[in-house]
Chains A and B, each alone.
Chain A
Amino acid sequence: MANLIFNITLYHYLILALILFVIGFIGVILVKNIIKVLICAEFMLTAVNINFIAFSAFAENNLIGFVFAIFTVAIGAIELAIALAIFYLMYRNKKSVDINDYKELMG
């Protein structure tokens, strides 16, 4: 038991990433503030990054996951910039940060 607790294996990282991803998922769907929704989406991306790096670190000297994590960070930053700009343009029309006020975007 002590061996399981004090030896940090790949499972520890995977379970941590899983918990973070699920909390981000719950936040994206439940929270009504648009900025909080975007923060929770970043949590999900961070969980994916943890998985990439953990798998890459536990494989035999294979660092592709490290490179892909950098890729994901760049994509996440771009996505956030676009999302915040779109949100601000919408906010200028409705003056609300409540996600329920933008139901017409559902089509």
Chain B
Amino acid sequence: MNSSDIFTSIIFYLCAANVIFSSIFTILSRRIMHSLLFAVILFFAVGIIFLFLSAEYNAIIQIAVYGVAIPVLFVLAIMFTSHRIDKQVYLSFTPRFIFTIISAILFVLTLFNILLISSSVIEWLFTPQSVISLNRYEMFNAISDGLYIRFLLSFEMIALLTLSVIVGLSSLNIFKGARNG
């Protein structure tokens, strides 16, 4: 174990702690804008974690889409809606609180059980480090192969879905406005 391993692991733990605490503060913040700021911090930290996994493209997309584009949508929604109810709507501790906690505990226990079983069955899970041995050119080739050849149809369908969403949302607002007007 050399010093770069220790340095990398320390940065990973810092990012992981950032992710966990930001997500908790997002839920617990009273002001919705503070929640959004914590969420943006979380998305940037997840982008850094993707860099540890040699996924530079995903890190860039994560930061560009989740860190920048989606918060703009949220800010617009917050500006349109939460001008007077900012501090009233918070957490609800109704009976569904117990249901949620029990479900979350069961979920965590189940997945831990699966992890423990898999650790004794599959040996490659114990690989201490990422085993990607591609250089940047090969990585670019592999991602392009996935995007433009193997899953081309899926991405074309996503493009059509995006187009239909844009047309649908604009027509929805036009019809709503015409009915109101």
Task: Output the least CB separation between B171 and chain A (Å).
Answer: 11
The reply to whether B58 and A58 contact each other, CB–CB distance below 8 Å, is no
Contact A23 B27 (CB under 8 A): yes
In Å, the complex CA distance between A61 and B54 comes to 11
A9 to chain B, nearest CB (A): 6
Residues of A within 8 Å of B, CB-based: how many? 73
Interface range on chain B (Cβ under 8 Å from partner): 35 or more
Residues of A within 8 A of B89 (CB): 32-33, 97-98
Using CB atoms, name the residue of chain A closest to B169.
A85
CB interface residues, A 75-92, toward B, < 8 Å:
75-78, 80-82, 84-85, 87-89, 91-92
Residue on B nearest A6 in the bound complex, by CB: B9
B92 beta carbon closer than 8 Å to chain A: yes
Counting CB contacts under 8 A, is B174 at the interface?
A: no
Contact among B97, B134, B150 for A30, CB-based, below 8 A:
B97
Given contacts A18-B108, A50-B46, A69-B55, contact A26 B165 (CB under 8 A): no
Interface residues of B (CB under 8 A from A): 1, 5-6, 8-9, 12, 16, 19-20, 23-24, 26-27, 32, 35-36, 39, 42-43, 46, 49-50, 52-55, 57-58, 61-62, 65-66, 69-70, 73-74, 77-78, 80-82, 85, 88-93, 96-97, 99-101, 103-104, 107-108, 111-112, 115, 119, 124-134, 139, 142-143, 146-147, 150-151, 154-155, 158, 161-162, 165, 169, 172-173, 176
- 21 sample A-B contacts, Cβ–Cβ < 8 Å, listed by A number: A8-B12, A13-B49, A13-B53, A16-B19, A16-B49, A23-B23, A23-B27, A30-B97, A39-B36, A43-B42, A46-B43, A49-B46, A53-B53, A56-B55, A57-B54, A61-B142, A67-B150, A73-B66, A74-B158, A78-B158, A87-B77
| Given contact pairs A8-B129, A58-B124, A67-B150, a sample of 7 additional A-B residue pairs in the complex whose CB atoms are under 8 Å apart | A18-B111, A22-B108, A49-B62, A59-B124, A61-B132, A71-B158, A77-B70
Interchain residue pairs A-B with the least CB separation, the first 8: A67-B146, A57-B53, A7-B128, A29-B100, A63-B142, A23-B23, A33-B89, A27-B27
